[in-house]
Amino acid sequence: MKGEGMSDDHQQASAWARTMLSTRDWAVLDTETTGLSREDEIVQIAILAADERVLLDTLIRPTRPIPPDATAIHGITDRDVASAPIFPEIYDRLRAMLADRRVVIYNAEFDLRLLNQTLLKYGMPIWNFPPDRVECAMLRYSAWKGEIWGDGSYKWQKLEGGDHTALGDCRATLALIRRMAEA
């Protein structure tokens, strides 16, 4: 989305949020990870249904130690994940929960990349969500906020109310969608 039609984009983002809240066929997904690079993987994942039911909230034991700089952000340590399941142990359950739902993710590009990186670490095929089933709440919120970069694109926004836990960030995303819908 470009900034030229800022008012229209704000209205479209509000309309999107109202449409989302009028249905129940979606859920919010969030992850916490060992870092941001192409080598990192998921250490926590949560799924929150549109009606606020917690569908999944689990730590994941990664294939390598959690770096201290990642722990400084989300607070998850190697000790916390020592007895947690590895990703393949929750994968079928995860897929089943999302099979008939649209998925809303704050910064979808990042979480989907880390999901697939984690799958590849276990030799599992990547998960190609159909584009019409994934919604990036960050891009919608950025359009709603309307702050423009020099190139005319919307400035990405930090998740307001997020606490750097997967479930906490799911709840913050849902609250943000409600706020956008009310505007």
Task: Give the Cα separation of 122 and 3 in Å (integer).
Answer: 41
In this predicted model, what pLDDT tens digit does every residue of 128-182 receive, in sequence order? 888 889 999 999 999 999 999 988 899 999 999 999 999 999 999 999 999 999 9
Give the global pTM. 0.93
Give the per-residue pLDDT at 6: 54
Confidence of residue 1 (pLDDT cuts 50, 70, 90): very low
On whether the CB atoms of residues 142 and 8 are closer than 8 A, the answer is no
CATH superfamily of 3-182: Ribonuclease H-like superfamily/Ribonuclease H (3.30.420.10)
Region for residue 32 given its phi and psi (left: phi exceeds 0; alpha: psi -120 to 50; beta: otherwise) = beta
* Rounded-to-integer distance, Cα 169 and Cα 155, Å: 20
Question: Angle between the 87-98 and 108-121 helix axes, to the nearest 10 degrees?
Answer: 130
Query: At 121, is the secondary structure helix, strand, or coil?
Result: helix
Q: What is the pLDDT of residues 46-104, one digit of tens each?
A: 999 999 999 999 999 999 999 999 999 999 999 999 999 999 999 999 999 999 999 99
Residue 4 has pLDDT above 80, yes or no: no
All structural domains of the chain with their residue ranges:
3-182
Q: What confidence score (pLDDT) does residue 152 get?
A: 85
Phi–psi pair at 43, nearest 5 degrees: -120, -10
In this predicted structure, the answer to whether residue 5 has a pLDDT above a threshold of 60 is no
